[in-house]
Amino acid sequence: MSQNEQQKQIDDAWAEVSAAISAPEVELLELLIKDDSGDPNDGIEYLFGRAVHQGTLYDITLPVLRFCVRMLDQFSLEATEWVVVWIQLVGSLIRDFPEDPYAIQLHKENTFVVEALLALDAKKGGEYYTRALGAWAWYFDAEDELAYRVRARLREYPVDGGTLAALGAWGGDTSAYLTSDDLGVRTAAAFHDRSEAGTAALIEVLSDPKTEDVWEQIIEPDGRIDDVVEELVTRDFSGITEAERARLGSLAIFYASTDYMPWEPFLQLINIGNGNGVLNTEATTRFLGAVVDDNDAWSISATFTIDALKKAGLPSSREELRKLVKSMRD
């Protein structure tokens, strides 16, 4: 890009964002610029507290995103790292809430955002740089030139859970890492490998209580372990071994017996109601018994429990479900 083209891009960025937000808000964004003597913290707080807040997108998110992307190489080093984190957050929210009207608008910026991230000196992007690339990986063709360039960039980085997850999201092969000693790497590899080996590895990593923290703190900073469980139950289990099938049943029981873990997706695998029968009668009985015995499921989370059971074609009252479990045991 020539100097004149770069200056036009900067001018356009300021003009567009100035027309969309108030003058005091523009002044907060000015604090992010590298040659500004002010503290960037107020500008960073604006991004996370106003342009996006508590997982909610707003009408100003789009112009602020476009500003940040156009100005990405103009920010101070500290501000750049935080802006990349914010870009990753926006991408994750669009992915999680694709029907949101603001998400639909923001999604159209996909190529624009990814091109800017690729153009950035990756050392300035901080530890969230590869996660940001992964968060903006939607609806692409693995053979597209852009996907190829992203994969090439990601392969330049040391392998960790977040980088490997981003590589998998962009169509990269993660199968070589299914047996890694690193739980985060193994989890990311299994999540993006739908082979029999990948499915077996996904069952194995979800059986480790540490996986929740690894997924939510290292691999997908704005993700949930629910995403991993929901991915698992969509797999083809026809080729797994009996030992792996038994481990899958134990996993369902473990999640139903552990506070605040997403047991509801496993209802898709039971052999009664609307389940597909992946779990046999014994595993189904033990799993539903764990649901009956979970006091929190019938107090704090009662609404979710009742809705999930109805959707699964099961009795939605605790007593009726208890009777069903008893009849299955007899």
For the chain, the structural domain boundaries read 1-139, 241-330
**Is the alpha carbon torsion for 277, 280, 286, 287 positive or negative?**
negative
Which backbone phi and psi does 20 adopt, to 5 degrees? -105, -25
Structure tokens given for 129: 């740089």
Longest dimension (CA), the chain: 80
> What are the tens digits of pLDDT across the range 41-81?
999 999 999 999 988 999 999 999 999 999 998 999 999 99
Model pLDDT, residue 142: 82
Length of the chain, please? Answer: 330
Structure token digits, residue 116? 């800017």
What average pLDDT does the chain have? 93
Contacts with 300 (C-beta within 8 Å, 6 or more apart), sequence order: none
* 75 bridge partner residues: 33
- For residue 295, give the amino acid letter: N
Look-up: residue for tokens 């995403």? 227
Residue pointed to by tokens 């699964």: 312
Tokens of 81: 């790292």
Dist CA 145 CA 15 (whole Å): 31
CA distance 94 to 136: 9
Amino acid 36: pLDDT: 54
Which tens digits make up the pLDDT trace of 108-153?
A: 999 999 999 999 988 899 989 999 999 999 878 888 999 999 999 9
pLDDT tens, 186-195?
999 999 999 9
DSSP string, 29-85: HHTTBTT--S-THHHHHHIIIIIEETTEE-TTHHHHHHHHHHTGGGB-HHHHHHHHH
With a pLDDT cut of 70, the percent of the chain lying above it is 98
- 214-253 per-position pLDDT tens digit: 999 889 877 899 999 999 999 999 999 999 999 999 999 9
Backbone angles phi, psi at 161, to 5 degrees: -60, -45
Q: What is the DSSP string of 217-268?
A: III-TT--HHHHHHHHTTS--TTS-HHHHHHHHHHHHHHHHSTT---GGGGG
Rounded to whole angstroms, the Cα distance separating 322 from 224 reads 30
Cα 180 to chain center, whole Å?
A: 21
